[in-house]
Amino acid sequence: MGFRLSKLYTRTGDEGQTGLADGRRIDKDHPRIEAMGSVDELNSVLGMLIADLQAQELSSICAALAPVQHRLFDLGGELAVPGHDIIGEAEVQELEALIDSYNADLEPLKNFILPGGSRCIASAHLARSVCRRAERRYLSLASEEAVNQQARIYLNRLSDLLFVIARTIARLEQTPEVLWQSKPKPQA
C-alpha cells in the first residue's frame, strides 16, 4: 500500500461536495455518500460491539464478527468506486451459515424482543438497527443508480445475524431477554 494520507484536510469539500475514488465529485448528501456514511457508521458500531464482547470474554462471537468489519470496509470501497463489486454470493452464504449456526442453539422466538438486558445485548441491537438504516440508504441509492445486489442482500442478512447474535449473547450471559409487553387495554 503505497498511498498515505499526510494531510487530513484538503479543503476540497468545503463547498459541500466530495470526491469518489473514480475522480468524480458529488454532493455530500448524494444517496451514494449517504450509503457510504451509513456503512461506515455501521462498521464503527460493530467495532464497539466487538470491544464490548471482548470485555465480556465472548471471543467466539468476536471471531465471527471481525471479518464482517473487513467486508463492510470493502462495501464502502464498492460505494466509492461505482461499478466495482467486491461483495458476492459467497459472503452472503457465510452470513447465512453463521445465522443458522447461532440460531440452532436458541429457543424458538415467541415474543418480540426489546434491545436491552445487558450492554452487550443492547450493543448488538444497536448494530442491527444501524445495519437496517444502512440497508435503507443502499436501497435509496439503488433507486437512482445500478448497485451490487449481493451487497444489498449482505446488509439484509447482516441485520438478521446481529439479531441472532443479540439473542446468543443473552443465552451465553444467562441474561433474560427483554420481552415486549403490549399496552394494556383500557378497562371498560
Quick check: 143 and 32 in contact, CB under 8 A? no
What residues are paired with 178 via a beta bridge? Answer: 114
pLDDT on residue 3: 58
Instruction: Kindly report, residue by residue over 1-12, the tens digit of the pLDDT.
Output: 455 656 655 665
**Residue that the C-alpha cell 461483495 belongs to:** 87
pTM attached to this predicted model: 0.88
Instruction: Kindly report, residue by residue over 49-88, the tens digit of the pLDDT.
Output: 999 998 777 888 999 999 999 999 999 999 999 889 999 9
Instruction: Kindly report, residue by residue over 73-129, the tens digit of the pLDDT.
Output: 999 999 999 889 999 999 999 999 999 999 999 999 899 999 999 999 999 999 999
> Environment class of residue 42 by beta-carbon count within 10 Å: exposed (0-12), middle (13-18) or buried (19+)?
buried
pLDDT on residue 104: 96
CATH topology of domain 27-105+112-179: Hypothetical Protein Ta1238; Chain: A; (1.20.1200)
13 has a pLDDT exceeding 60:
no
Residue 177 to residue 138: CA distance in whole angstroms: 30
Q: Where in the chain are the domains?
A: 27-105+112-179
Tallying the residues shown for the chain, one arrives at: 188
